[in-house]
Amino acid sequence: MDLTLTPELEAFRDEVRAFLEAHRSEYEAGQPKDARAWQRLLIENGYAARTIPKAYGGYGAEPDVLKTRIIAEAFIAAGAPPGIANQGVSMLAPTLLEVGSEEQKTRWIGPTLRGEVVWCQGYSEPGAGSDLAALQTRAVEDGADFVITGSKIWTSTAHLADMMFCLVRTEPEKPKHEGISYVLIPMDTPGIEVRPLKTMTGGAEFNEVFFTDVRVPQANVVGGRGRGWIVANTTLKHERGMLGDPNATEARLAALIELMRTETVDGQRLIDDPALRDRLMQLQARVLSMKFNGLRVMTDETAGLARLIVKLQGCELNHQIAALAIDALGELGVLYHDGPHLRAGGRWQWNYMFDLGLIIGGGTAQIQKNIIAERGLGLPREPKTVEG
Amino acid sequence: MRFALSEDQVLLQDSLTKALAELAPLDRVRRFADEGERSAPDIWAGLIELGLPGLLIPEEHGGLGLGLVEAALAAQALGRAVAPTPFLGSAVLAPLALMAAGSREQQARWLPRLAAGAVTAGVAIHEPVAGARDGAGVAAEGGRLNGRTLFAIGAAGADLLIVADRAGGLHLAQQAEAVEPMSTIDATRRVTEIIFRDTPAEPLASNRALERLRDAAWTMIAADTLGACEAMLEKAVAYARERRQFGRVIGSFQAVKHLCAEMAAEIEPTRALVWYAAYAFDHAPDEASLMAAHAKAHTSEIGRFVARTATEVHGGIGITDLLGLHYWFKRIGLNRQLLGGPERVRAIAAQLQGLAA
């Protein structure tokens, strides 16, 4: 246990702070004034796409978890917008780096990092959720192309995306895990229809995507035909790190504390209600635990189980923070959309509902528990049932 | 920066765990519990050989001069083994009291003997930390102590007592009118009620030493619960991999494996919280009290969950005396209330950050 920063890291932290101070005029209220220019500036200085090689449009630094964390903390402290962290940057780019062809890396990684190409993820289907490998969207060979038919669901940003990284079945005669390919699809290809999927929040954070005879070159397959399941698991590994991020949870707890210190009922601050305060302290202990767990995951090579629990515990904790905020607000907590009494734009209710989606998405809580029990604790898998 | 145990810390943890497996196997703990032994000098003698009593005591007084992280690892190993030892009073709280508030002369007289394991110390700080019940509390006047104090730690047969009076002042006593056993659910440790009647005692310096003792005690109790939780999860997983029903090992049923996953998901981040609380005690004094409070309260909550869930995974055999899982269950149960239950400790956590009057 040594939590002090070396002089080198202290100097690095000062450098990041000085950068943010020098460029203060280029962002406002946590948003860049020119998103693409800001992203380019961050990449040039190593504060975005930090470990992606220069040849592919990144900054080309050696991976260093502490520097990554120092950057994240300095940006939060300064209220500065961090680099783009969409699915293209967080999931596709690292996957291409690991298994993409040279041509794919050169063509896609740079524009993705710079925010010039926006991606969506085509994984889940109406009949393939937790059992993702049961997916049925077909890609049939036709000359140099695949012709794709089927549908995807839970596709966030599909309506904005230029491209999709998508799982399709190319070898239907093979066992389900071996017949899947990972393919890159331009969203303007004829035959693609995107329909917004309205959820309980009232918004449409996701879409359904329908494919009717969509023609894509076979050269768009990543990692080899029939190897899509392996490639997809590379990507999912990156997604689980993204969901349940303890920095975001800490910021939410701070907002909850602020709410409970400033809101009053009968002239008494919410924080002065012993029952509410006790719940707040319980959550604070959990937030601190996850924060230190996060530090441990970054720097302790023996922290295998500690890594596996992050998605399950982090998403649940966010949900509970929103729940306490709503309970503390009482009847004001159920106001939504608009009105003079609405607090924080209805954000707590929105979070409460949206976070339930995150508990389910990216591997449900129950799938996470299977992973923890089987990979972390060595318990046996459920026996396979006969497929009908 | 590295949030991980150092090589030396891992070595300490391993050697203690191995030593305790020899010194305090379940049979030995059971004998201590069933026969109502007041202390287990055989177990302590083995730990003295490893230098455990002098863990925190400076080298100039014959100790190892290590920090609270090392002490927390020791407490974790003791909780894992449900071992009966005078560790908390003799090796942690009494040395810290003497180091923080003892005179040079008091330090020179007691620290070397504590470090060598030649004497043991009990600690009675319950009332000013956890509140006075049944009219208990100690008054100090003119070098004499009067009154009674409950839930004293390691006081039976101790050569030296560290006593907090009602106002939070600390005293060093070498005798008492009476030290009476209090029979708790946890038969792996002895707590006592101490009665003072014009008992001579030396005052320790009137600084904020009691707060430091409280923080250290909370962190040690948290680590003890953490170790007990780890042991209970390991036992539950081992049982779930072996016990067969409906033609399958029960650990292949999601109803059972999810209970195990939930325990692991609660224990893992708690480990980081307890380590940080111990680290903060030595290296981040501004945060130490808050982290100790959260570690104490949070381990109490996850401890209750793990104790009941691990028992449930075992099915009927889990509640039998024969299996002995109840020793861990009850140790966690005592730790939850000792020196303040979670609601009380969380109220203090709120006060510490100005969130409560």
A78, A104, A128: which is the final residue of a domain? A78
Residue B96 located in a structural domain: no
Look at residues A124, A103, A48, A58 and name the one whose alpha carbon lies nearest to residue A81. A48
Residue B357 located in a structural domain: no
Which residues of B are less than 8 Å from A287 in CB distance? none
Look at residues A243, A259, A249 and name the one whose alpha carbon lies nearest to residue A285. A249
The reply to whether A255 and A219 lie within a common domain is no
The reply to whether B219 and B331 lie within a common domain is yes
Helix (H, G, I), strand (E, B) or coil at B255: helix
Taking only the tens place, the pLDDT of each residue in B46-73 is 999 999 999 999 999 999 999 999 999 9
pLDDT surpasses 50 at A364: yes
Kindly provide the b/e burial profile for residues B105-123, where b requires at least 16 CB atoms within 10 angstroms of the residue's own CB: ebbeebbbbbbbbebbbbb
Task: Report the alpha-carbon distance of residue B259 to residue A155 in Å, rounded.
Answer: 32
Measured between CB atoms, does A306 come within 8 Å of chain B? yes
Task: Report the alpha-carbon distance of residue B166 to residue B129 in Å, rounded.
Answer: 9
B188, B203, B218: which is the final residue of a domain? B203
pLDDT surpasses 80 at B34: yes
Mean pLDDT along residues A306-332: 96
Mean pLDDT over the full length of chain A: 94
Taking only the tens place, the pLDDT of each residue in A44-98 is 999 999 999 999 999 999 988 889 889 988 998 898 999 988 899 989 999 999 9
> Over pLDDT 70: what percentage of chain B?
100
Enclosing domain of residue A191: 119-227
Enclosing domain of residue B218: 209-352
Q: What is the 3-state secondary structure (H, E, C) of A86-119?
A: CHHHHHHHHHHHHHCCHHHHHHHHHHHHCCCCCE
Tokens of A258: 């602020």
Identify whether the C-beta of residue A114 lies closer than 8 Å to the C-beta of residue A126. Answer: no
Q: Check residue A76 and give its pLDDT.
A: 85
The CATH code of the domain that includes A135 is 2.40.110.10
Taking only the tens place, the pLDDT of each residue in B39-48 is 999 999 999 9
Look at residues B180, B144, B178, B176 and name the one whose alpha carbon lies nearest to residue B161. B176
Q: Check residue A240 and give its pLDDT.
A: 57
CB–CB of A285 and B249 under 8 A? Answer: no
pLDDT surpasses 90 at A341: yes
Q: Check residue B222 and give its pLDDT.
A: 99
Residue A170 located in a structural domain: yes
In the stretch 56-95 of chain A, residues with CB closer than 8 A to chain B read 66
Mean pLDDT along residues A373-382: 95
Q: Check residue B274 and give its pLDDT.
A: 98
Residue B241 located in a structural domain: yes
* Nearest residue on chain B to A384, alpha-carbon basis: B252
Percent of residues in chain B assigned helix, strand, coil, to nearest 5? 60, 15, 25
Among B3, B273, B298, the strongest candidate for a mutation testing the A interface, having the largest count of A CBs within 10 A, is B3
Taking only the tens place, the pLDDT of each residue in A264-292 is 999 999 999 999 999 999 999 999 999 99
- Does ipTM exceed 0.95? yes
Task: Report the alpha-carbon distance of residue A140 to residue A146 in Å, rounded.
Answer: 5
Pairing of strands A180-186, B144-153: unpaired
Mean pLDDT along residues A97-103: 95
pLDDT surpasses 60 at A198: yes
Residue B253 located in a structural domain: yes
Find the farthest-apart pair of alpha carbons in chain A and give their distance in angstroms, rounded. Answer: 75
CB–CB of B254 and A378 under 8 A? Answer: no
CB–CB of B273 and A383 under 8 A? Answer: no
Task: Output the CA torsion B73→B76→B80→B86 (10° steps).
Answer: 100
Percent of residues in chain A assigned helix, strand, coil, to nearest 5? 50, 15, 30
Mean pLDDT along residues B114-121: 98
The reply to whether B43 and B170 lie within a common domain is no
In the stretch 115-154 of chain A, residues with CB closer than 8 A to chain B read none
The reply to whether A211 and A252 lie within a common domain is no
Which residues of A are less than 8 Å from B263 in CB distance? none
Mean pLDDT along residues B198-208: 92
Displacement of CA B341 from its chain's centroid (Å): 14
- For B280, phi and psi rounded to 5 degrees? -65, -35
Task: Report the alpha-carbon distance of residue A184 to residue A194 in Å, rounded.
Answer: 16
CB contact set of B38 (below 8 Å; sequence gap of 6+):
B156, B157, B181, B190
Task: Report the alpha-carbon distance of residue A230 to residue A233 in Å, rounded.
Answer: 5
Displacement of CA B204 from its chain's centroid (Å): 23
CB contact set of B316 (below 8 Å; sequence gap of 6+):
none
Q: Check residue A237 and give its pLDDT.
A: 67
Residue A322 located in a structural domain: yes
The reply to whether B17 and B35 lie within a common domain is yes
Kindly provide the b/e burial profile for residues A64-95, where b requires at least 16 CB atoms within 10 angstroms of the residue's own CB: eebbebbbbebbeebebbbbbebbbbbbbbbb
B203, B219, B240: which is the final residue of a domain? B203
Q: Check residue B84 and give its pLDDT.
A: 98
Active site residue A239: yes
Identify whether the C-beta of residue A292 lies closer than 8 Å to the C-beta of residue B273. Answer: yes
Q: How many CB atoms lie within 10 A of CB A357?
A: 17
Taking only the tens place, the pLDDT of each residue in B308-320 is 999 999 999 999 9
* Nearest residue on chain A to B283, alpha-carbon basis: A3
Measured between CB atoms, does B340 come within 8 Å of chain A? no
Mean pLDDT over the full length of chain B: 97
pLDDT surpasses 90 at A1: no
Q: Check residue A383 and give its pLDDT.
A: 80
The reply to whether B108 and B132 lie within a common domain is no
- Please identify which of the residues A98, A178, A205, A239 carries the catalytic annotation: A239
Residue B130's alpha-carbon distances to A149, B145, B163, in angstroms, are 68, 20, 14
Mean pLDDT along residues A97-108: 96
Nearest-by-Cβ selection for A1 from B6, B252, B343: B6
Helix (H) or strand (E) holding B332: helix B326-337
Residue A254 buriedness (CB in 10 A; 0-12 / 13-18 / 19+): exposed
What's the structural domain count of chain B? 3
The CATH code of the domain that includes A293 is 1.20.140.10
Q: How confident is the model at residue A13 (pLDDT cuts 50, 70, 90)?
A: very high
Q: How confident is the model at residue B236 (pLDDT cuts 50, 70, 90)?
A: very high
pLDDT surpasses 60 at A231: yes
The reply to whether A141 and A65 lie within a common domain is no
Task: Report the alpha-carbon distance of residue B132 to residue B70 in Å, rounded.
Answer: 32
pLDDT surpasses 50 at A229: yes
Kindly provide the b/e burial profile for residues B257-275, where b requires at least 16 CB atoms within 10 angstroms of the residue's own CB: bbbbbbbbbbbbbbbbbbb
The reply to whether A250 and A345 lie within a common domain is yes
In angstroms, the separation between the Cα of residue A296 and the nearest Cα of chain B is 5
The reply to whether A181 and A253 lie within a common domain is no
> Over pLDDT 90: what percentage of chain A?
84
The CATH code of the domain that includes B313 is 1.20.140.10
Tokens of B245: 């029903």
Tokens of B267: 């224990």
Q: Check residue B345 and give its pLDDT.
A: 98
Q: Check residue A387 and give its pLDDT.
A: 53
Q: Check residue B1 and give its pLDDT.
A: 85
Q: Check residue A238 and give its pLDDT.
A: 62
In the stretch 164-223 of chain A, residues with CB closer than 8 A to chain B read none
Task: Report the alpha-carbon distance of residue B277 to residue B284 in Å, rounded.
Answer: 9
DSSP string, A21-88: HHTGGGEETTEESSHHHHHHHHHHHTSSSTTS-GGGTS--PPP-HHHHHHHHHHHHHHTPPPPP-SHI
Residue A74's alpha-carbon distances to A3, A61, A68, B242, in angstroms, are 17, 18, 10, 50
* More confidently predicted of A245 and B264: B264
What's the structural domain count of chain A? 3
DSSP string, A200-221: TTSS--EEEEEEEEEEEEGGGE
Residue A365 located in a structural domain: yes
Measured between CB atoms, does B265 come within 8 Å of chain A? yes
Tokens of B95: 């040395």
Q: Check residue A68 and give its pLDDT.
A: 87
Count A/B contacts: CB-CB distance under 8 Å. 163
Look at residues A150, A157, A148, A156 and name the one whose alpha carbon lies nearest to residue A128. A150
Q: Record the pTM.
A: 0.95
The CATH code of the domain that includes B188 is 2.40.110.10
Helix (H) or strand (E) holding B123: strand B121-124
Residue A12 located in a structural domain: yes
pLDDT surpasses 50 at A388: no
The reply to whether A311 and A359 lie within a common domain is yes
